[in-house]
Amino acid sequence: MHAGVQRVPPCGAAPRCCIVIFVTITRRTILAALPAAAAAQAQRARTQSWKPKLGVLCEYSDANLEFVKAEGFTSMQLRLNPDRLDDAAIAVLKDKIQRSGLYVSALAVDGNHIDPDPARRAKQNEYAAKCIELCGKLGIPNIGGQSGTIKGQPLSAQVDEIVRVYTEKYFPLCEKHKVRVLWEPYAGGPNVATGPVGWEALFKAFGNSPHVGLQFDPSHLIWQFMDPVAAAREFADKIYDVHLKDTEILWHVVRRAGIQPVNRASWWRFRVPGYGSMDWKGFFSVLAEAGYQGAMNIENEDEFFYPPYSERDFTEQYKRGFRVAHEFLKTLVPPVTAYEDSHDHTYSLRLPGGGWADRAAPGPDWPRLPERSGGRGDGGGRRRIQAGGICEGGRLFSIRRAVGPGLHRCAATPGRSIYAAVHPRRQIRG
């Protein structure tokens, strides 16, 4: 590119002058700019296609599974004990999960994988191995928990032992069952993967192993006074699962007692997303820019919504916590999602403002439509439409047109049926 400057008299031949800059753009300049333009376009396209899965972390029960689906979530992380499940029970569980259409992103596996006590270590290694095998049988891609630790040992020595144990005990099973071991940054347990320093040491020691990664939980970084957004940006390519949990710093306590109060007062507490100190907009921007398409599961450890369980089922108060978090997250996460019901290959629609467009069974508010060309009734008062569009990753791309009172045709997999009953005046965005 060449530039030339020439002074020319202005109109009216006044003694003043102005400057005209002539710019010559060469072919080389244009060709050099093309890769940058293409990269910028690719980045914009990648960000615009962000379609993560949104769900909850919980103990499994049939009632909990039904609640998660009914609330419009698309994923779960489960707590299951492999010692309580034989092959028959696993087959039943797998069928129920598949029928729900929910994606199970990880199995929670806590414990110290390098416990200095030989008996406890052996027990933990055996349990984790069983969990990896259970993941393989259920089609779950990850186990998530702590890295393991030996208190008092240098970080490098602990990392070396973690690499040795994982390589010997876990990686053959990970390879066989296509399962990855993930670490969350929980600093209150047997863990050296508590933040960027530990992550860097571990990933460097493991090289480019496909069997390890991060289960990113920003809440633990907040109470350690780390920057979750910066950490996520630095390790974005290592994030395979996300916990959605917030932390509230009780500054009125910190300002008087510090972070080691002599009266043992609590100076921080876990909250549902939106009720703590987390920069969720910044965090989700990082994930979107990285093209993250995995699960983001709400981990409800907010004591304002306790107790969590009655037997193994959610309490109504605990459900309220999930709903509160969901309403907040819907302002930041792509809100319209479709869910496949493998019983009859239909989809249900989650409305942007909350609430279900579909019902598990026809109710008084469900429009009973007659048989019409182009669709068929299902005997239960629902109107099923043969759609010719595409549904990718559970997200509806478009609402095609109204086909009856309160009913809209939506994009779905060709040959499958799709329907949605909506409020006649409610706006739906695809």
First to last CA, the chain: 45
Residue 415 pLDDT > 80, yes or no? no
Q: pLDDT for 175-212, tens place per residue?
A: 999 999 999 999 999 999 999 999 999 999 999 899 99
The residue-averaged pLDDT of 414-420 equals: 37
DSSP 155-173: HHHHHHHHHHHIIIIIHHH
Give me the DSSP letters along 278-307.
--HHHHHHHHHHHT--SEEEE----GGG--
Question: For residue 49, what pLDDT is reported?
Answer: 75
pLDDT tens, residue by residue, 45-94: 444 578 899 999 999 999 999 999 999 999 999 999 999 999 999 999 99
Residue ranges of E strands in 148-218 = 180-183, 212-216
Q: Above 80 in pLDDT, residue 393? A: no
Q: Average pLDDT, stretch 166-180?
A: 98
Q: What is the DSSP string of 109-134?
A: --S-TT-SSHHHHHHHHHHHHHHHHH
Q: What is the pLDDT of residue 141?
A: 98
**Block residue for tokens 């980045």:** 43
Tens of pLDDT, residues 361-378: 333 333 333 333 333 333
Average of per-residue pLDDT values in the chain: 79
**Homologous superfamily in CATH for domain 50-329:** Divalent-metal-dependent TIM barrel enzymes (3.20.20.150)
- How many residues appear in the chain? 430
pLDDT score at 29: 64
- The amino acid occupying position 84 is R
- The whole-number average pLDDT for the span 264-293 is 97
Q: Which residues pair with 395 in a beta bridge?
A: 392
- Closest listed residue to residue 149, CA positions, set 165, 138, 126, 173: 165
Give tens-digit pLDDT for 4-37.
555 555 545 445 555 555 555 666 666 666 666 6
Residues of the chain with CATH 3.20.20.150: 50-329
For 157, counting Cβ atoms within 10 Å of its Cβ (0-12 exposed, 13-18 middle, 19+ buried), the class is exposed
Half-sphere exposure of 7 (CA within 13 A, CB side): 4
